[in-house]
Amino acid sequence: MAKVLCVLYDDPKDGYPTSYARDDIPTISSYPGGQTAPTPKAIDFTPGHLLGSVSGELGLRSFLESHGHTLVVTSDKEGENSVLDQELSDTDVVISQPFWPAYLTAERIAKAPNLKLAITAGIGSDHVDLDAAIAHQVTVAEVTYCNSISVAEHVVMMILGLVRNYLPSHQVVLDGGWDIADCVSRSYDLEGMHVGTVAAGRIGLAVLRRLAPFDVKLHYTDRHRLPESIERELNLTFHPDTASMVPYCDVVTVNAPLHPETEGLFNDDLIATMKRGTYLINTARAKIADRDAIDRALRSGQLAGYAGDVWFPQPAPADHPWRTMPHHGMTPHISGSSLSAQTRYAAGTREILESFFAGTPIRDEYLIVDGGRLAGAGAHSYSTKS
């Protein structure tokens, strides 16, 4: 029987919800391109309920315990005395969400001899040391596509929020004011601007599709070029790399995984090549941008705005400069954890566990590392240090 350790974010400050703003959520059974949404044999939760926090338990407890497995759920994940570290030594499966990542470092993986499976309940497995997972034959799987559209919606919201100066204008209302000139002196239309995405995978392409009706000029770069039919349909300009794309853009959105090729990509040197007043939206991973270079660029005016929901580390300390830098529209890491997304990634986590316990293959599109190598989605989109 297995021991499953599930690291989730804390319940709401006022306690686990007893009611919700809406009574239901739309049923999504497949994604653009035809991949089916998760297909577990059953679920033991109500779609649209809070599943990603400790009391939500990703809806897994009765399933696991009815099969004789042990489930430990905690939000305590930092430091050697954390529940995560204390429980790791005999854990078979670790489940974690990127919003509240259980950083599975090489040291932690070495201290977990039974560890066979690390599941990302969401997308983005960079909180797992993939080289160590490869070396220790740990399978890494994530619920590919579960929240790609959720993030794409967040990106569009943040682009509009920055360009139109939404948040400072909302603050004027909260403060009881009517200071039109203060609001509009940084407010523009998105129409006609050049918008570029670093990566046009599931999220990047969904962002491009959602922006096309705004009559913007769309650019992208990616390791693999999109089909010509899509380039034509959306009137896309392809650039061979990020450096050659960003000088053309008024808005840049980052939608690539964090891996050795993308770490630190938006540094002082790259930002200096962008048009003065570019808006940068990064909902991918914080470390793709140099923390202090972003702060400097906002203060100098080289960037007109920065928004995103990804930080390093997570949770971000109270004195993280991105909390107080000017012209930012940051949220905590929430874009991929809407109640709608939670329903899908809880179901996907259950599907992965069902396959794992049955000894049947985990869907290839969910795999990042398997059998001591990058596999499935991981082989397509990630790279390793070696």
Residue 67 makes contact with ligand NDP by CB under 6 A: no
Residue 124 makes contact with ligand NDP by CB under 6 A: yes
Residue 142 makes contact with ligand NDP by CB under 6 A: no
Q: Which residues contact 89 (CB under 8 A, 6 or more apart)?
A: 111, 112, 113, 114
Catalytic position from the list 69, 108, 127, 147: 147
Which of 13, 22, 41, 224: binder of ligand NDP (CB under 6 A)?
Answer: 224
41: amino acid identity, one letter: K
Which of 85, 290, 295, 309: binder of ligand NDP (CB under 6 A)?
Answer: 309
Beta strands in the chain (DSSP E): 3-7, 70-74, 93-96, 117-120, 139-142, 194-198, 217-221, 236-238, 251-254, 278-282, 303-308, 367-370, 373-374
Q: How far apart are CA 383 and CA 20, in angstroms?
A: 41
User: 72: which strand partners?
Assistant: 5
Residue 219 makes contact with ligand NDP by CB under 6 A: no
Spacing of C-alpha 39 from chain mean position: 22
Nearest residue (CB) to ligand NDP, 130 versus 183: 130
Q: Looking at 25-33, 209-217, 321-329, 373-381, which segment touches ligand NDP (CB under 6 A)? A: 373-381
Helices (H), 251-333: 268-272, 291-300
Report the nearest approach of ligand NDP to the CB of residue 242 (Å).
Answer: 6
96: amino acid identity, one letter: S
* 327 labelled catalytic: no
Report the nearest approach of ligand NDP to the CB of residue 32 (Å).
Answer: 11
* 165 labelled catalytic: no
Residues 254-293 that bind ligand NDP (CB under 6 A): 255-258, 261-262, 283-285
Q: How far apart are CA 215 and CA 36, in angstroms?
A: 31
* 282 labelled catalytic: no
* 86 labelled catalytic: no
What is the b/e burial string over 164-196, where b = at least 16 CB atoms within 10 angstroms of the residue's CB?
Answer: bbbbbbeeeeeeeeeeeeebeebebebeebbbb
Task: Note whether 241 and 215 are within 8 A (CB).
Answer: no
Residue 363 makes contact with ligand NDP by CB under 6 A: no
Q: Which residues contact 54 (CB under 8 A, 6 or more apart)?
A: 8, 9, 10, 11, 73, 74, 75
Q: Looking at 19-27, 38-46, 71-79, 193-201, which segment touches ligand NDP (CB under 6 A)? A: 193-201
Residue 22: exposed, middle, or buried by beta-carbon count in 10 A (0-12, 13-18, 19+)? exposed
Interaction pattern, residues 88-117, with ligand NDP; x per rule: CB under 6 A: ------------------------------
Nearest residue (CB) to ligand NDP, 112 versus 256: 256
DSSP string, 166-201: HHHHHHHHHTT---HHHHHTT----TT-EEEEE--S
Q: How far apart are CA 239 and CA 220, in angstroms?
A: 6
Nearest residue (CB) to ligand NDP, 85 versus 222: 222
Report the nearest approach of ligand NDP to the CB of residue 3 (Å).
Answer: 27
Chain residue at closest Cβ approach to ligand NDP: 201
Residue 165 makes contact with ligand NDP by CB under 6 A: no
Catalytic position from the list 194, 202, 239, 333: 333
Q: How far apart are CA 84 and CA 91, in angstroms?
A: 10
Q: Which residues contact 213 (CB under 8 A, 6 or more apart)?
A: none
Residue 375 makes contact with ligand NDP by CB under 6 A: no
Which of 85, 87, 129, 222: binder of ligand NDP (CB under 6 A)?
Answer: 222
Which of 139, 335, 340, 343: binder of ligand NDP (CB under 6 A)?
Answer: 335
Q: Looking at 14-22, 41-49, 163-171, 374-382, which segment touches ligand NDP (CB under 6 A)? A: 374-382
Phi/psi of residue 332, nearest 5 degrees = -60, 170
Residue 348 makes contact with ligand NDP by CB under 6 A: no
Q: Which residues are catalytic?
A: 147, 285, 314, 333
Which residues of the chain form contacts with ligand NDP (CB under 6 A)? Answer: 122-124, 147-148, 151, 198-204, 221-224, 255-258, 261-262, 283-285, 309-310, 333, 335-336, 377, 380-381
